[in-house]
């Protein structure tokens, strides 16, 4: 397996660091528009693991917006797999470039949605991933595989859905992704500051678009942003966090492969974060349409959302100033295999102190990066296989969770996942 990793930002850098401890691949090409950033990731691997491991990593420059450029870099290095680790706005070009190069493809976020033009808070328009699923026939004809939504959420949460359906429930009422954290970022003086732990570009997209809900009788439909608030109690000391509906890929993926009456995604944003997002929207600073800005050197076209992203701390660099844990998981209700009502929460927690000590990566990007590396290893060993455009639910969940939890000295990743029984309502 030769992997072209597109993007050496927070998640891409963490993918390289996690993969450096594994041996299932021949080569990883760490690529980025900013070559220096890709070179930093490769240098970290060589400094931490030595030349024997480092020799399997090379840096390259890539223009992720150009499918021909993506294909050219993939061909140059003989890539068998293209791992997309950049903003979802680049999905179409990387997706096309991988297919043109004859490589398989993985991403952690799917092609972007477009709200319904006249009824955005009730009806769906173009849904997340629609563009990719529309091209499934091309991938099938080429005998190639695209695994979409293979991060943590989406990704691990979807693996949990497959596991719950296969091993825990005879029928499922609701698959409810619930994401929460108790993370705090402080400035140099120790004061708490506003610093999103993930790409603000992606966060704005997810949180201000109309959330999607799926119900067996109604199909996919939308609600208003931040709808249906609920307090969810997260494990391992995180505690109760208010969660709200957010647009996310799981709701578009799970119903394609897992039988359930309802699928939702709720994110623990917090009052401050929600207020910031509402103000950005009110001022039009969430827009991706370039605005003309006058400067001494002349007019400049710039997207307001890109300005917001540039003004906030880089999520990849806030790890040393961040404390706390993040939890990704799936709340499942229904009838257990014994015929009795059952309610469980399947989850994985990442502690920032640990991820910084082990990988010099903050916990949110590290947790996201862990899962595509596991998926790549399962593909390399043949435990996962297929053709076309498939979500994580289409594969064997047990193989994934076993490899994830197995201790490192026994060939696994040493990441325990939890199953918390809860009292049915």
pLDDT for the residue 306: 86
| Domain edges within the chain | 2-151+368-410, 156-366+418-422
Packing angle of the helix pair 156-163, 249-257 (nearest 10 deg): 30
User: Token pair for residue 314?
Assistant: 């880089």
pLDDT for the residue 198: 67
User: Token pair for residue 215?
Assistant: 């119900």
Q: Does domain 156-366+418-422 have CATH number 3.30.360.10?
A: yes
Q: At CA 243, angle to CA 240 and CA 249, rounded to 5? A: 130
pLDDT for the residue 207: 80
Contact 258, 175 (CB under 8 A): yes
Q: What is the dihedral of CA 162, 167, 172, 176, to 10 degrees?
A: -50
Contact 63, 35 (CB under 8 A): no
Return d(Cα 184, Cα 300) in angstroms, integer.
36
Phi-psi region of 289 (alpha: psi -120 to 50; beta: other; left: phi over 0): beta
Instruction: Work out whether strand 2-6 and strand 325-336 pair parallel, antiparallel, or are unpaired.
Output: unpaired
pLDDT for the residue 65: 98
* CATH code for residues 2-151+368-410: 3.40.50.720
Tell me how long the chain is. 425
pLDDT tens, the chain, 425 aa long: 999 999 999 999 999 999 999 999 999 999 999 999 999 999 999 999 999 999 999 999 999 999 999 999 999 999 999 999 999 999 999 999 999 999 999 999 999 999 999 999 999 999 999 999 999 999 999 999 999 999 999 999 999 999 999 999 999 999 999 999 998 888 887 887 777 776 777 788 778 889 999 999 999 999 999 899 999 999 999 999 999 999 999 999 999 999 999 999 999 987 778 888 888 888 888 888 898 888 788 888 888 888 888 888 777 677 787 899 999 999 999 999 999 999 999 999 999 999 999 999 999 999 999 999 999 999 999 999 999 999 999 999 999 999 999 999 999 999 999 999 999 87
Query: Which has the closest alpha carbon to 274: 224, 332, 358, 208?
Result: 208
Please give the full DSSP string across 40-86, using - where no structure is assigned.
HHHHHHHHHH-HHHHTTEEEEE--TT-HHHHHHHHHHTT-SEEEE-S
User: Token pair for residue 13?
Assistant: 């850098």
pLDDT for the residue 147: 98
pLDDT for the residue 387: 98
Are 2-151+368-410 and 156-366+418-422 in the same CATH fold? Answer: no
* CB proximity list for 51: less than 8 A, separation 6 or greater: none
Return d(Cα 277, Cα 210) in angstroms, integer.
13
Contact 56, 16 (CB under 8 A): no
In the block, residue with structure tokens 């050197």 = 297
What's 283's DSSP letter?
T
User: Token pair for residue 115?
Assistant: 């709200």
pLDDT for the residue 103: 98
């Amino acid at each position: 397996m030769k992997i072209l990793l597109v993007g050496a930002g927070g998640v891409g850098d963490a993918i390289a660091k996690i993969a450096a401890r594994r041996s299932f691949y021949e080569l990883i090409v760490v690529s980025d528009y900013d070559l220096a950033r890709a070179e930093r990731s490769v240098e970290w691997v060589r400094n931490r693991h030595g030349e024997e491991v480092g020799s399997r990593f090379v840096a390259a420059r890539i223009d992720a917006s150009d499918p021909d450029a993506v294909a050219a870099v993939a061909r140059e290095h003989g890539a068998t797999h293209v791992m997309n680790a950049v903003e979802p706005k680049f999905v179409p070009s990387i997706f096309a470039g991988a297919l043109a190069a004859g490589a398989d493809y993985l991403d952690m976020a799917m092609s972007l949605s477009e709200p319904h033009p006249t009824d955005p808070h009730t009806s769906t328009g173009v849904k997340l991933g629609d563009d990719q699923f529309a091209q499934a026939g091309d991938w099938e004809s080429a005998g190639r595989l695209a695994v979409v939504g293979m991060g943590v959420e989406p990704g691990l949460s979807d693996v949990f859905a497959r596991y719950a359906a296969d091993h825990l429930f005879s029928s499922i009422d609701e698959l409810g992704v619930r994401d929460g954290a108790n993370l705090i970022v402080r400035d140099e003086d120790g004061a708490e500051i506003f610093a999103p732990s993930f790409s603000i570009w992606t966060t704005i997209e997810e949180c201000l678009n109309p959330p999607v809900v799926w119900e067996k009788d109604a199909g996919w439909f939308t609600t208003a942003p931040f709808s249906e608030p609920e307090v969810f109690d997260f494990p391992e000391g995180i505690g109760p966090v208010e969660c709200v509906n957010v647009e996310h890929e799981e709701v578009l993926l799970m119903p394609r492969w897992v039988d359930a009456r309802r699928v939702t995604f709720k994110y623990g944003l917090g009052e401050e974060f929600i207020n910031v997002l509402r103000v950005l929207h009110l001022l039009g600073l969430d827009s991706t349409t370039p605005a003309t800005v006058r400067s001494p050197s002349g007019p400049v076209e710039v997207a307001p959302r890109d300005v917001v992203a540039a003004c906030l701390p880089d999520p990849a660099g806030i790890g040393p100033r961040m404390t706390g844990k993040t939890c990704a998981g799936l709340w499942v209700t229904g009838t257990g295999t014994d015929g009795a009502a059952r309610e469980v929460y399947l989850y994985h927690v990442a502690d920032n102190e640990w991820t910084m000590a082990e990988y010099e990566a903050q916990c949110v990007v590290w947790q996201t990066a862990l899962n595509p590396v596991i998926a790549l290893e399962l593909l390399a060993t043949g435990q996962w296989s297929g053709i076309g455009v498939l979500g994580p639910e289409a594969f064997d969940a047990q193989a994934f969770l076993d490899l994830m939890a197995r201790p490192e000295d026994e060939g696994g990743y040493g990441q325990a996942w939890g199953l918390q029984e809860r009292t049915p309502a």
